[in-house]
Amino acid sequence: MKALEGIRILDFTHVQSGPTCTQLLAWFGADVIKVERPGVGDATRKQLMDVPDADSLYFTMLNHNKRSIELNSKNETGKQVLTRLIEECDVLVENFAPGALDRMGFSWERIQEINSRIVMASIKGFGPGKYEDCKVYENVAQCAGGSASTTGFRDGPPLVTGAQIGDSGTGLHLALGIVTALFQREKSGKGQKVTCAMQDSVLNLARVKLRDQQRLASGPLKEYSQFGEGIPFGEATPRAGNDSGGGQPGRIVKCKGWEQDPNAYTYFIIQAAVWEKVCDVIGKPEWKTEDGFAKPADRLDKLNVIFEAIEQWTMTMSKFEVMDTCNPHDIPVGPILSLKEISEDQGLFDTGTMVRVDHPERGEYLSVGCPIKLSDSSVEVTRSPLLGEHTSQVLEDVLGYDGEALQQVLDSGAVGQVKR
Ligand SMILES: CC(C)(COP(=O)(O)OP(=O)(O)OC[C@H]1O[C@@H](n2cnc3c(N)ncnc32)[C@H](O)[C@@H]1OP(=O)(O)O)[C@@H](O)C(=O)NCCC(=O)NCCS
- Whether 250 contacts 243, CB under 8 Å: yes
Sheet with 333-335, strands from edge to edge, namely: 250-254, 265-269, 333-335
- The Cα 158–Cα 65 span in angstroms is 37
Closest-CA residue, ligand 1 atom 20, reads 37
Sheet with 193-197, strands from edge to edge, namely: 66-70, 31-36, 8-12, 91-94, 119-124, 193-197
Output b/e per residue, 318-330; b: 16+ Cβ within 10 A.
bbeebbeebeeee
Closest-CA residue, ligand 1 atom 48, reads 16
pLDDT the model gives residue 144: 98
pLDDT the model gives residue 163: 97
Within 10 A of 39 (CB to CB), how many other CB atoms are there?
Answer: 11
Q: Ligand 1 in contact with 35 (CB < 6 A)?
A: yes
DSSP 384: P
Which atom belonging to ligand 1 lies closest to the Cα atom of 103? 35
Closest-CA residue, ligand 1 atom 6, reads 97
Which atom belonging to ligand 1 lies closest to the Cα atom of 134? 39
- Dihedral angle of Cα 277, 256, 160, 333, to the nearest 10 degrees: -20
Considering only the top CATH level, what class is 8-205+370-411? alpha beta
The set of catalytic residues is 167
CA distances, 40 to each of 46, 161, 204, 369, 388 (Å): 9, 30, 34, 27, 10
pLDDT the model gives residue 420: 63
Pairing of strands 119-124, 91-94: parallel
Q: Ligand 1 in contact with 124 (CB < 6 A)?
A: yes
CA distances, 33 to each of 239, 286, 359 (Å): 43, 65, 19
pLDDT tens series, the chain, 420 aa = 999 999 999 999 999 999 999 999 999 999 999 999 999 999 999 999 999 999 999 999 999 999 999 999 999 999 999 999 999 999 999 999 999 999 999 999 999 999 999 999 999 999 999 999 999 999 999 999 999 999 999 999 999 999 999 999 999 999 999 999 999 999 999 999 999 999 999 999 999 999 999 999 999 999 999 999 999 999 999 999 999 878 899 999 999 999 999 999 999 999 999 999 999 999 999 999 999 999 999 999 999 999 999 999 999 999 999 999 999 999 999 999 999 999 999 999 999 999 999 999 999 999 999 999 999 999 999 999 999 999 999 999 999 999 999 999 999 999 988 766
Q: Ligand 1 in contact with 135 (CB < 6 A)?
A: yes
pLDDT the model gives residue 350: 98
* Ligand 1 geometric centre to CA of 77 (Å): 20
- The Cα 346–Cα 334 span in angstroms is 18
Handedness of CA 390, 391, 392, 396 (dihedral sign): positive
pLDDT the model gives residue 382: 98
Which atom belonging to ligand 1 lies closest to the Cα atom of 17? 48
Mutation pick for ligand 1 pocket among 135, 164, 198 (CB with most ligand atoms within 8 Å):
135
- Whether 3 contacts 29, CB under 8 Å: yes
Per the DSSP assignment, residues forming a β-bridge with 269 are: 250
Q: Ligand 1 in contact with 72 (CB < 6 A)?
A: yes
- Write down the domain spans for the chain: 8-205+370-411, 236-254+265-335
Q: Ligand 1 in contact with 63 (CB < 6 A)?
A: no
Domain 236-254+265-335 annotated CATH 3.30.1540.10: yes
- Dihedral angle of Cα 30, 381, 400, 416, to the nearest 10 degrees: 120
SS3 84: helix
Which atom belonging to ligand 1 lies closest to the Cα atom of 36? 23
